[in-house]
Amino acid sequence: MNVDNRYFWPHKDLLDVTQLSGEETLRLLDLAARFQDINRRPVKKVPTLKGKTVVLFFVEDSTRTKTSFDVAAKRLSADTYALAKSGSSINKGESLKDTALTLQAMGPDVIVMRHASSGAAEYLANLLDCSVVNGGDGWHAHPTQALLDCFTLRQAWQGRFTERAVLILGDIAHSRVARSNVHLLAMLGTRVRLCAPRTLLPAGVDNWPVEVYSDLGRAVRGVDAVMCLRLQLERQQAGLLPDLAEYSRRFCLTADHLALAEPGACILHPGPLNRGLEIADDIADAPASLVLDQVSSGVATRMAILYLLATRRDKDVL
């Protein structure tokens, strides 16, 4: 593959989208589009990262992010090794620091980490010489999800992020996906609305570059995309969510709501889905739903991220 090898990616790690400029973001998304072409070929493998090693260090559950990074690395011919909490010495009480130093001693080029604590990826990045990618840390950030969401929207919107509006709907308070998406979409010039019960809005939301709604019918009017979020039942504190039936009556996205959006508006959801709770069953499978496009965009976007990080120090890139 022919990549502009005069370009130097300035970041050792990808910890959050806040570290990226608009230009860097678009460059990364352009590169992802070229990797997506490879993913459409009958033989979906190139030797670009042959000899590089990617460790998947997932201390919290994951289906999409972990598999997507694994597929992305393998499509580029990198070797991958997975370490999960269960079956590792973390279960014997080993500290994050000792586990990380042990992994680094095996010489990986990139470690992708998911962890339940906000700031865990940054802690690792400051400790290690190899690149660290944040695969989701607590409620804090999920940069690769926001990048793949913007990649998906860029394709659906024929490249234009300005004069567009996105509604992010649901459990914003516990969502690292919402935090990273709000920042990235606002930076790219898209208007962002949030809709959630008051108890599921984060503290300090008044300082976010968003419009906040509590009525879904009003929030959805005229938007170009709706991003539904999973109700994070495992992260709820007592009292935040008294009644699931009431939640779904007021905040579950249905065909009636979608009829109020712009014609052709698309639906996103990072997955996993609680069907019937935050998104109606038929809407999740409707033609306007880009949920599975997000998954394929995720592979291409993560190929671009691994490529930029794993080759940034190479003199001869290809």
Residue 238 to residues 232, 233, 250: CA-CA distances in angstroms?
Answer: 13, 11, 20
Is the CB of 112 or the CB of 220 nearer to ligand NCD?
Answer: 112
* Rg of the chain (C-alpha set): 19
Q: By CB under 6 A, is residue 270 in contact with ligand NCD? A: yes
The answer to whether 148 touches 298, Cβ cutoff 8 Å, is: yes
How many residues make up the chain in this entry?
A: 318
Q: By CB under 6 A, is residue 145 in contact with ligand NCD? A: yes
Q: By CB under 6 A, is residue 52 in contact with ligand NCD? A: no
Ranges within 174-203 binding ligand NCD (CB under 6 A): 176-177
Is the CB of 48 or the CB of 295 nearer to ligand NCD?
Answer: 295
User: Which x/- pattern, by CB under 6 A, does the window 1-40 give for ligand NCD?
Assistant: ----------------------------------------
**Alpha helices by DSSP H, the chain:** 22-39, 64-75, 96-105, 120-127, 143-156, 176-187, 216-219, 244-251, 255-258, 281-284, 291-310
Q: By CB under 6 A, is residue 66 in contact with ligand NCD? A: no
Give the binding-site size for ligand NCD (rule: CB under 6 A): 11
Among the listed residues 186, 271, 286, 293, the single contact to ligand NCD using CB under 6 A: 271
Is the CB of 52 or the CB of 174 nearer to ligand NCD?
Answer: 174
Is the CB of 48 or the CB of 268 nearer to ligand NCD?
Answer: 268
Give the other-Cβ count within 10 Å of 313's Cβ. 11
Q: By CB under 6 A, is residue 64 in contact with ligand NCD? A: yes
Residue owning tokens 């042959």: 50
Is the CB of 9 or the CB of 133 nearer to ligand NCD?
Answer: 133
User: Which x/- pattern, by CB under 6 A, does the window 98-137 give for ligand NCD?
Assistant: --------------------------------------x-
Measured in whole angstroms, the distance separating CA 85 from the mean position of its chain's CA atoms is 21
Angle at 141 between CA 137 and CA 146, to 5 degrees: 130
Q: Considering only CA atoms, which of 281, 247, 310, 295 is closest in space to residue 71?
A: 295
Sites of contact with ligand NCD (CB under 6 A): 64-65, 136, 142, 145, 176-177, 230, 232, 270-271
